């Protein structure tokens, strides 16, 4: 829910963590023991999974937004532009019309 409303962004988290790991040269170092190597492999797996999760989340997040835009075309433009477009596309029925006859 927090991610859906833009409070927490998994992509941003991923983009902030990876540079720190690069700065620490986690994947370039060769001075780890067996447990360190195992932890690095687990970390690499977690980062790969997180990248896949980011892509999946973004697709899931964007799907309802795209549906809402299709249902409510006024969200693609300002309310004023939408209303003006609706008024211009209506046939002038004469009596009872909302348009002034000036």
Please report, for residues 62, 86, 99, the alpha-carbon distance to residue 55 in angstroms, rounded to integers and kept in the order given. 11, 37, 49
| Residue 96: pLDDT band with limits 50, 70, 90 | very low
Given this model, what pLDDT does residue 83 score?
59
Q: Considering only CA atoms, which of 44, 54, 42 is closest in space to residue 22?
A: 44
Tell me: the pLDDT tens digits for 11-26?
A: 888 888 888 989 999 9
Half-sphere exposure of 32 (CA within 13 A, CB side): 14
SS3 (DSSP) at 50: helix
- Indicate whether 27 pLDDT > 60: yes
Angle (nearest 5°) at CA 6 between 4 and 9: 90
Tell me: the pLDDT tens digits for 28-50?
A: 999 999 999 999 999 999 999 99
């Amino acid at each position: 829910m927090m991610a859906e409303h833009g409070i927490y962004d998994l992509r941003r988290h991923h983009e902030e963590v990876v540079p720190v790991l690069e700065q620490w040269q986690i994947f370039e170092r060769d001075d780890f023991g067996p447990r360190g190597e195992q932890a690095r492999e687990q970390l690499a797996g977690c980062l790969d999974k997180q990248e896949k999760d980011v892509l999946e989340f973004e697709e899931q997040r964007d799907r309802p937004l795209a549906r809402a835009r299709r249902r409510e075309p006024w969200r693609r433009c300002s309310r004023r532009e939408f209303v003006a477009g609706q008024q211009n596309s209506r046939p002038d029925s004469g009596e009872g019309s909302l348009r002034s006859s000036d």
